Amino acid sequence: MTVKVVDVSVTWVGQKNSNPPNTVRYVTVAKFEEDKDTWEKEAWSIVLDFIDPPAQQGNPSLGTARFLMANGPVERLTKGKKFEMYEGKAKVAEIQIL
């Protein structure tokens, strides 16, 4: 199975991420429009990879995104689509697929 990887722009939001993270990999749960009613019980994890850490890039940051699990719904990773990332119930990032 081929893993789909897309280019993204990541806008870090919320008090916790007023300063973007200083890491080249960030993984947490995503909230897609298709999952808005069930995402707190059933969510997909997304892996964000960066050449330079977001703390060095600034906000927004450029990187790539892919599903953590190989069986993720890759049809959601389409140019122009948006989704959000959360740590618990706190929104930490807004993602735009480039």
- pTM across the whole model: 0.92
Residue 46 burial class via C-beta count within 10 angstroms: exposed 0-12, middle 13-18, buried 19 and up: buried
For the chain, domain boundaries: 6-97
User: What is the distance of C-alpha 91 from the center of its chain?
Assistant: 11
Alpha helices in the chain (DSSP H): 54-57
One digit per residue, pLDDT tens: the chain, 98 residues? 678 999 999 999 976 556 789 999 999 999 999 888 888 788 999 999 999 999 999 999 999 999 999 899 999 999 999 999 999 888 999 999 99
CA 35 from centre of chain: 15
pLDDT of residue 19: 74
Can you name the CATH fold of 6-97? Answer: Elongation Factor Tu (Ef-tu); domain 3 (2.40.30)
